[in-house]
Structure 1
């Protein structure tokens, strides 16, 4: 497969001047092999094309935003129709109310909902609501967890004042004793424990929660009159139509959702129970585009597709097919893969590869062959990743294993 980058390299040179230090965020070339395109020309289904017309089967799906696949016709049609009559208007359309009622219905814990644009908006609203309701300040946050890029949660310390992190205590995910120690340290000032549905920190293996850990988070929040905030930004609607910890029988007080909730249209959701309704009504949170109605239409259409087309089951089936195929393929070349987390959000690493040299080389070879997989961030399966797409992927990764064997033996 020919992989040319003439247009891409020219764009990168322009980006060095146009942006502070080239493309930033997820697509920073400092964080990925130069074989990954930074600029994307078009998308469709489970595929994307870069500016040199190289085609890729995409396992990042816009970093999780396209649950059904790029440009799902029913979602795009609903959004387009609404945008044609009213989108970013002076006030919201009635679709905002309809969507709130829908989330209140499908989420077992939810009595009310709010909308914003990004996951960071939603997690911040949750934290503000917890503090407003409890009149306490301290938030417990798992070590290495990502909850957004605002001062209180950004993983980079530059530009962050010490006061932004003043009322935070860290704990170790899935470690009950660590959680108990953090609660004791907070004393009478515990406002909330924020937790992700499973551990999906970058650069490390994913880890599913134990039932004991999830139960303990819920019990401690009840005992100390604190909020259980579920940061469901990455996971929402992938495992169940509701908050993800419903699968464990554990309900949050406040839940932040985004990414997949409108299949590529900018939207985030905060859901909460009546205990925190007053706190939510006291905070001030808004944005110029938060009432834009095309995203509400897209979200309603997305949920309808999930309900009607058994999308959640299909995601798991496709994820399992990829996981099994990759494991068998690796074994055939004498390698042992370490695949962690749920198969719908795969992360793939190599055993006996402490410095990730094999991993980084392998995924560079994979992307050259037209499969966009990530070496250190969890990936995403979409509804467009059919069995045929998975099988096509495995044909392409075969060549990457051949290259890996040639280099590492």
Structure 2
């Protein structure tokens, strides 16, 4: 193996953090949940690159876990946000930008008649559930096993501190399985408020699965027949696959959809986009947050959506994803490995075939770090418009060297 990264400052920061932060870090960005040796703290980012606290540079394939869709520090997006900051951000009420952004989104998303804004994806998915229950007067929510919809008691992947009552009205089913969905709908009976689905199956450490049109149509038909709401959790995939909404290519329209991550290129913003049949529910509930009306992030969102609409950013990102997928397959094959690359190429899940305990994937990603590429061994990754052909080729070369490192160490599937 090659030498380890210089990481003395990162280690020192982790030691300091443990004194004042439980476990030193929380949530999905706690690197102890990835693999020992990952940098926890970063000093800057630009385009498709990040630098850790020790100054090590990486071509980044996590893109801030999704928000970076155009490139870190995109000049036009940041200029729009900063111009708004100089006037007002959080005030006694929103600015005109709120209305402009809602108008832009309803004109862009093929299923949207109205919008509400929040700060995080969990805010948006939770409000969608509340709106669906308010609008239908029912309680049961059907969701796919293993799907991630946020980190509050009704949906958190951890049940520590969660009561049975928090999840009393959730009914699980198996993603993509029409018979399983039929059974869940039957179990809900006349108390079905909503079916919530992620845009595609992106469970951790599993092959990703794109929805079939038939499956989405079946979910839509159940909601049409029962009067329930169909909710698309488009937090992760929204504004990466299709500006009209991730299900637009299937011709299936949700009643409610939750967006965040890429909506404002890293500025904190989330949105619910709803159809008119869900408007009464939205009008009847109380949902709010002190910073949900911040104008700077909305200005960034407005700029981001317009850039995505007026440029080839999405097509370029898809092309770079295809280039990366091909290069990684070839690099793996040269060293006697086989990859399982699933999901959209813009949001790839990359697993080593036969790597049952992810030990090989962990070692590969750690070796890639040492060669200047930031990958994730068990979570889907992200590309952005700032990734160019030279970045992809350099990353593939680095991963090729990482495969050589783990092969030399004798790490092979059992």
TM-score category (smaller protein): over 0.9
Q: Please, which of 115, 120, 123 is the counterpart of residue 122 of structure 2?
A: 120
Aligned residue pairs total 409
> Which residue does the alignment assign to 2:337?
335
Given candidates 314, 327, 333, the residue that maps to 1:325 is: 327
Instruction: Please tell me the root mean square deviation across aligned C-alpha atoms, in Å.
Output: 1.0
Separation (CA, whole Å) in 1 of partners of 2:141 and 2:351: 32
Displacement of 1:92: 0.5
Q: By how many angstroms is 1:212 displaced?
A: 1.5
Question: What do residues 311-339 of structure 1 show as CA deviations (whole Å, max 9, x unaligned)?
Answer: 11011100000000000111111111100
Tell me, which stretches of 5 or more residues in structure 2 are unaligned? Answer: none
Distance 2:298 2:260 in 1: 12
What is residue 108 of structure 1 aligned with on the other side?
A: 110
Residue 364 of structure 2 is matched in structure 1 by: 362
More moved, 274-283 vs 201-210: 201-210
Name 1:158's counterpart in structure 2.
Answer: 160
Which deviates further from its counterpart, 200-209 or 118-127? Answer: 200-209
Please show how residues 2-401 of structure 1 align to structure 2 within 5 Å: 3-401=5-403
Partners of 1:2 and 1:49 in 2: how far apart?
16
Instruction: State the distance in 2 between where 1:168 and 1:34 align.
Output: 35
SS at match of 2:23: coil
1:4-53 Cα distance to aligned partner (Å, 9 max, x none): 00000001111111111111112223312222111111000000001100
Deviation at 1:3, TM superposition (A): 2.1
How far off its partner does 1:2 sit? 7.0
TM-score by length of 2: 0.97
Q: Secondary structure at the match of 1:21?
A: helix
TM-score (norm 1): 0.98
Q: Which runs of 4+ in 1 moved over 2 A?
A: none
Provide the C-alpha distance between the structure 2 equivalents of 1:177 and 1:398, rounded to a whole number of angstroms: 43
Q: Distance in 2 between matches of 1:29 and 1:275?
A: 42
Measured after TM superposition, the shift of residue 359 of structure 1 is 1.1
| TM superposition shift of 1:99 | 0.3
Distance 1:162 1:356 in 2: 32
Q: Aligned to 1:322, what secondary structure does the other structure show? A: helix
Supply the distance in 1 between the matched residues of 2:78 and 2:350 (Cα, whole angstroms): 32
